[in-house]
Amino acid sequence: MSRTQSALLGALVLLAGASGSAVAAVPPDPAGIATIPCTVDYKVQNQWDTGFTAAVTVTNNSAAKTSWAVKWAYAGNQKVTSGWNAKISQSGTAVTAANETYNGTLATGGSVSFGFNASYSGTNALPTSFTLDGVTCNVDDGSGGGGGGGGSDPSGRVDNPYTGAKVYVNPEWSAKAAAETGGSRISNQPTGVWLDRIAAINGASGSMGLRAHLDAALAQKGSGEEVVQLVVYDLPGRDCAALASNGELGPTEIDKYKTQFIDPIAAILADSNYASLRIVTTIEIDSLPNLVTNTGSRATATPQCDTMLANGNYVKGVGYALAKLGAIPNVYNYLDAGHHGWIGWDDNFGASATLFKQAATSEGATVDDVAGFITNTANYSALKENNFTINDTVNGTSVRQSKWVDWNRYADELSFAQAFRNQLVSVGFNSGIGMLIDTSRNGWGGTARPTGPGATTSVDTYVDGGRYDRRIHVGNWCNQAGAGLGERPQASPATGIDAYVWMKPPGESDGSSSAIANDEGKGFDRMCDPTYTGNPRNNNSMSGALPNAPLSGHWFSAQFQQLMTNAYPPL
């Protein structure tokens, strides 16, 4: 996944500074001492035949500012097409990047970073001069060694961010887990930090904000490598087929999503204080697959999903998030890819990969902004079904014809993730992409775990008697009764898999089992009601949900205890 290279500023007339680094010539001040009021670091991070992505960092060495504007000019036909962390305009060859409302303050000695995508043809000549508020700046060529381990590029980016790294243990989740009887057995496990509303960025209801988590991760990091796992989850019209996890933004509020959610997250992640962290982002779970499976003439279609397909705001939002966050060298974007019981069917498999490619090349994003994909996020699909395969037959009847499998080509999450990775590469994603699988709640251990295949009386008795996944239907997703903790988080566990992760923190509810008034935009979904008899998406089966559940994301002690009891591997 090497894709970042520093710009070579050979066109500049350079003076060798005392340190041996290259600096642009600036006029001496009256006392004969070089004046450097500001420094600009301009890097081309990614370049292709018709365009490029650039990152700019400006350091202010003069008086503190409450607003700023950086200007430069191109020698060629470069044209800025989109940008982030600055308001970028262009007139002819002249470009101006002015502050956003949230990053206008620039202290003496302080820095600010922004980036953009641009088109060009011929030669992509680098700018030779920059000004900050009309004052000419020194230009830093950004040369120097990068960090990281094997398979790294000059930015320090590595092929698999989990290799050789610790993973951040969220102290808030850890404290809740440790407070439960027996919870100290897993309270040191790393889990995802969910940014599921705008208020979560700065910290909602007394919880830690993004900066607080990143600061805590630096403290945990020590001298080694550290991964921080974030779930970026606030699309307009979010979760169009599930009311329990509806979000705060309406279907048309794409601009608010960009400027009030993604932009501030990007600004924090781009802070040089956090450059030594490997930041893994899970981008917008349960979004794009809905456009494939729950729209149009399908029995599972909803008006809300039809709206999001028509207005394009899921695709636009995901593309924008990938572009903004992917421009930060130490951020690794993993796009949500549903799970085998959602897009493992022939009608959904190829169509989903094609849609993901569309999203990953929209709003300035490219496939280089995608480090990989994550499956089974906050879901319950078994990692590996050992007691039957999709190729088995019983009395001449294929396992695919069983009620449980229902013509799906995949029986478990591992086989699906590996096959879907190949499909994604075939539609144009980089061959180096890796998969993550959320194993936080898919262990299905305990006394109900089968020890062998079911009886061969029929294909259904064979599959139902042997399957680890004890859900009533593979479409059931809310607070499932009988579930257990799955494989503990680990790096490189199988071919094509970057890591098993606990992206969904065990013990956090999927949704309330009855309507609860709240200010979080979360509705009541009957799939979280244990008395619900189902809908077309779960073949009108019982929901299989636990009773007395709180709002999604809130602590659910009874579920946490069940997950520990049924853990596989056992605790």
**Which of 475, 493, 483 minimizes the C-alpha distance to 560?**
483
The Cα 154–Cα 45 span in angstroms is: 10
pLDDT per residue as tens digits for the range 62-118 = 899 999 999 999 989 999 998 888 899 999 999 999 998 878 889 888 888 888 889
Residues paired with 517 in a beta bridge: none
Residues paired with 43 in a beta bridge: 55
DSSP string of 150-167? TT--TT---S-TTTTEEE
* 3-class SS of residue 125: coil
**Which of 73, 4, 3, 72 minimizes the C-alpha distance to 40?**
72
- What value does the mean pLDDT of the chain take? 89
pLDDT at residue 370 in the model: 97
Where does residue 458 rank: exposed (0-12), middle (13-18), buried (19+ CB within 10 A)? Answer: middle
Burial profile 484-523: b = 16 or more Cβ within 10 angstroms, e = fewer: bbbbbbebebeebbbbbbbbbbbbbbbbbbeeeeeebebb
State the sign of the Cα–Cα–Cα–Cα dihedral 475, 481, 486, 488. positive
The Cα 315–Cα 292 span in angstroms is: 12
pLDDT per residue as tens digits for the range 357-381 = 999 999 999 999 999 999 999 999 9
Residues paired with 114 in a beta bridge: 56
Percent of the chain clearing pLDDT 70 (strictly above)? 91
Least confident of 39-43, 518-522, 552-556: 518-522
Other beta carbons less than 10 A from residue 94's beta carbon: 11
- Considering the candidates 234, 510, 525, 529, report the single residue annotated as catalytic: 510
| Residue 544 confidence (pLDDT) above 80 | yes
pLDDT classification of 479: cutoffs 50, 70, 90: very high
Specify whether 510 is catalytic.
yes
- Considering the candidates 41, 196, 286, 529, report the single residue annotated as catalytic: 286
pLDDT per residue as tens digits for the range 262-317 = 999 999 999 999 999 999 999 999 999 999 999 999 988 999 999 999 999 999 99
Burial profile 132-145: b = 16 or more Cβ within 10 angstroms, e = fewer: bbeebbbbbbbeee
pLDDT at residue 155 in the model: 57
End-to-end CA distance of the chain: 36
The Cα 202–Cα 206 span in angstroms is: 10
Specify whether 196 is catalytic.
no
**What region does 250 belong to: left with phi over 0, alpha with psi -120 to 50, or beta?**
beta
Give me the mean pLDDT over the 47-67 stretch.
86
pLDDT per residue as tens digits for the range 127-144 = 888 999 988 888 764 433
| Residue 22 confidence (pLDDT) above 50 | no
**Which of 404, 383, 408, 550 minimizes the C-alpha distance to 476?**
404
The Cα 554–Cα 393 span in angstroms is: 43
pLDDT per residue as tens digits for the range 412-443 = 999 999 999 999 999 999 999 999 999 999 99
User: What are the Cα distances from residue 187, in Å, to 128, 192, 261, 403, 568?
Assistant: 53, 13, 30, 38, 16
Q: What is the DSSP letter of 243?
A: G
pLDDT per residue as tens digits for the range 203-214 = 988 899 999 999
pLDDT at residue 252 in the model: 97
Q: Model's pTM, two decimal places?
A: 0.74
Rounded to the nearest angstrom, the gap between the alpha carbon of residue 528 and the centroid of all alpha carbons in its chain is 25
Helix spans in 339-498 (H): 340-343, 346-360, 413-426, 459-466
Give me the mean pLDDT over the 448-477 stretch.
97
| Residue 391 confidence (pLDDT) above 50 | yes
